[in-house]
Structure 1
Amino acid sequence: MIRYEMDEKLLRYTFGDHPPVAEVPPGSVLVTNTQDCFAGAVRTVDDLPSAVCPAFNPVTGPFFVPGAEPGDTLALHFRTIEPSRNWGMSSTFPHFGALTTTHTTAMLHPPLEERVWKYDIDVAAGTIQFRARRSDHTFTLPMDPMLGTVGVAPAAGEARATIVPDAHGGNLDTPEIRPGTTVYLGVNVPGALFAFGDGHARQGYGEVCGVGVETAMNVTVAVDLIKGTPTPWPRIETDDRLISIGAARPLEDAYRISQHDLITWVAGLTGLETLDAYQLISQAGTAAPGNVCDPNYTMHAAVAKSIIPGLNGYDGVHENLKNLQP
């Protein structure tokens, strides 16, 4: 087991241009911790992110995986993702979110106000508490911890801001990256250089206001490397589903990418001809947005393993990592 204690001074805001903070060989279990998208600077409803945050969306890492080369696939099985504090923060921004004017969606009306909400987190009970800012209403929501950002270094020497989702991963903001999932990412540089962060105690599909219930996380992840097998877009495997993620603007293209990847993935796993796989996923698949607010939007396409008996990705890596001993 490898333990790495997050160093606040080494939190990163880009993928692809930083030296590794630690080495994590294939077959290892990494225990570490992460920050929220505000780097812990937003603590009260009076802390406006624009005033207290010099940057957004830090990640822990990058971690170097010996033997990883372009054309391989990195497998990250998230065993635990658990809030490390009893509070979380969310907000609206004047020019960020699905329902406000932005730099690419020009409107004549004023942008939304910047406003902050604080949530109480009860890890033992598995709940979070919403409190309205303009009334006395409160609501108890089930906790559903996830990581908004998981990625590797991009290809071609590129550095990408952590808030941008793309083929390398990044700020995917899908609630599907929760405990018990395996994330597959194509390796673009020697060592893969993976990193993650942006903990959410929960987030709705689409992340409509642009911000989940942001909180710091303790994370345990099992790591493996699949040699000689490329993965074109981020993929997720759970005990009962295969999921492909697409990231682009407009949202229709993110949808198309995710559907195309799932169809070709299932065709390769089953031996189905492409149009037969297209027909099968058209009738059996599901789709949902990850985010519709980031520089790229994300969509995921999923199919239940029960539809196709024996369907497993990457020759059982998900099951192997679940059972990997530290």
Structure 2
Amino acid sequence: MSGHGKHTIHSDCIHHGWDNSFKPRITIKPGETVEFETLDASSGQLSKTSTAADLAKLDLGRVNPVTGPVFIDGAQPGDALKVTLLSFKPSGPGGAGWGWTGNIPGFGLLADQFPDAKLHHWHYDASLAPAMYGPGGRVPLKPFTGTIGVAPAAAGLHSIIPPRNVGGNMDVRDIAEGTELLLPVEVAGALFSVGDTHAAQGDGEVCGTAIESSIDVALKFDLVKGANLRMPRYVTPGPVTSHFDKKGYEVTTGIGPDLMQGARMAVSEMIDLLSKRFGYSPIDAYMLCSVCADLRISSIVDVPNWVVSMYFPRIVLE
């Protein structure tokens, strides 16, 4: 920990799950900044030499470690914790970035269609250059916090996997640099934690993983007294898809009375397009969609059928 309103909390200060009885690692005042060191979503179970066999053996009880908790002086139930995301930097030697995308058996939107483990490694540099090489594509980077939240009021240990009204594993790719996030406070001090950092992700994270990467993130904390929010809110500092927009999109759809089935169809159709037109194996197409393609609800009023679209950025392919 350092002075002048700036603090550091290291990656050995992690926990798995949400529990309002966890002891704070540090206490800060509103207006102060904390730099968090994070672990990747596997909690270090995977490394640069890992294979799909290692992914298949992943202990899911240790996934999505979060660094914290941090006690914010003066935070009380009914307040909102305002978190401003200041910066992201890869945590590897010399600022080098390494990450992974995996198809974990039994996990993901199309888990029934892709039952086998598959692991892909990514490497990028300290500049967070706008593109990196993946399985046949170049994916523009936009680091963000996959899991970010505060402790719930309900006693006991709660799983880290599902998102909650107090935040958590939201996997919102726009909670990135410059974004201001408001989280409902349910316990004294808020007990804030963050982790599951990603180098890039598409809206939906359809295979269940993004570019999972250990990234150090600097956050500034403020309080909005008596905000009484029911759910998180956030404000972005500008356009959210400019890193993808430059070449347009390939778009597939799923149409029917069930949004989940529509989402599955839109993704399946995009996998088919990428496989037939660009030569991807179906599993690589699925994983690439997870890190750069966006699921959107295009229409939800024309009873009885709804339209879900999948937008795949052409810049990745050109």
TM-score scaled by length of structure 2 = 0.68
1:150 is aligned, of 131, 148, 151, to 148
Residues 1:129 and 2:136 aligned together: no
Letter in 2 for 1:71: G
1:80 is aligned, of 56, 62, 87, to 87
Using the TM superposition, give the Cα deviation of residue 3 of structure 1 relative to its aligned residue in structure 2, in angstroms. 2.2
TM-score scaled by length of structure 1 = 0.66
Contact 2:110 2:207 in 1 (8 A): yes
Contact 1:58 1:197 in 2 (8 A): yes
2:73 is aligned, of 66, 70, 82, to 66
Superposition map of 1:127-276 within 5 A: 127=130, 129-132=132-135, 138-240=136-238
Letter in 1 for 2:204: G
Identity over aligned pairs, percent = 32
Contact 1:119 1:128 in 2 (8 A): no
Q: Structure 1 pair 76/251, CA: closer, same or farther in 2 (3 Å)?
A: farther
What corresponds to 1:100 in structure 2? 111
> Helix, strand or coil for the counterpart of 2:37?
strand
1:27 is aligned, of 19, 25, 31, to 31
Contact 2:56 2:105 in 1 (8 A): no
Q: Structure 1 pair 288/36, CA: closer, same or farther in 2 (3 Å)?
A: farther
In structure 2, how many angstroms separate the alpha carbons of the residues matched to 1:125 and 1:160? 34
1:89 is aligned, of 100, 119, 126, to 100
Contact 1:35 1:198 in 2 (8 A): yes
**1:195-252 CA distance string (max 9 Å, x none):** 010010001110000001011111111100111121110111123589xxxxxxx968
Letter in 2 for 1:120: H
In structure 2, how many angstroms separate the alpha carbons of the residues matched to 1:59 and 1:125? 22
What corresponds to 1:46 in structure 2? 51
**Runs (4+) of structure 1 moved beyond 4 Å?**
none
In structure 2, how many angstroms separate the alpha carbons of the residues matched to 1:233 and 1:241? 23
In structure 2, how many angstroms separate the alpha carbons of the residues matched to 1:241 and 1:157? 39
Using the TM superposition, give the Cα deviation of residue 14 of structure 1 relative to its aligned residue in structure 2, in angstroms. 1.1
Using the TM superposition, give the Cα deviation of residue 127 of structure 1 relative to its aligned residue in structure 2, in angstroms. 4.0
> Helix, strand or coil for the counterpart of 1:189?
coil
Using the TM superposition, give the Cα deviation of residue 158 of structure 1 relative to its aligned residue in structure 2, in angstroms. 4.7
Letter in 1 for 2:83: L
Contact 2:9 2:34 in 1 (8 A): no
Using the TM superposition, give the Cα deviation of residue 49 of structure 1 relative to its aligned residue in structure 2, in angstroms. 2.8
In structure 1, how many angstroms separate the alpha carbons of the residues matched to 2:177 and 2:158? 26
Letter in 1 for 2:15: R
Q: Structure 1 pair 198/72, CA: closer, same or farther in 2 (3 Å)?
A: same
The number of aligned residues is: 234
Letter in 2 for 1:2: K
Instruction: Name stretches of at least 5 consecutive residues in structure 1 with no aligned partner.
Output: 102-108, 133-137, 243-249, 253-286, 290-326
Q: Structure 1 pair 174/251, CA: closer, same or farther in 2 (3 Å)?
A: farther
In structure 1, how many angstroms separate the alpha carbons of the residues matched to 2:43 and 2:67? 11
Letter in 2 for 1:174: V
Instruction: Name stretches of at least 5 consecutive residues in structure 2 with no aligned partner.
Output: 241-257, 261-294, 298-318
What corresponds to 2:118 in structure 1? 115
In structure 1, how many angstroms separate the alpha carbons of the residues matched to 2:44 and 2:233? 29
> Helix, strand or coil for the counterpart of 1:100?
coil
Q: Structure 1 pair 251/157, CA: closer, same or farther in 2 (3 Å)?
A: farther
Using the TM superposition, give the Cα deviation of residue 11 of structure 1 relative to its aligned residue in structure 2, in angstroms. 1.3
Using the TM superposition, give the Cα deviation of residue 163 of structure 1 relative to its aligned residue in structure 2, in angstroms. 1.5
Alpha-carbon RMSD: 2.3
Letter in 2 for 1:208: V
> Helix, strand or coil for the counterpart of 1:160?
coil
Q: Structure 1 pair 185/80, CA: closer, same or farther in 2 (3 Å)?
A: same
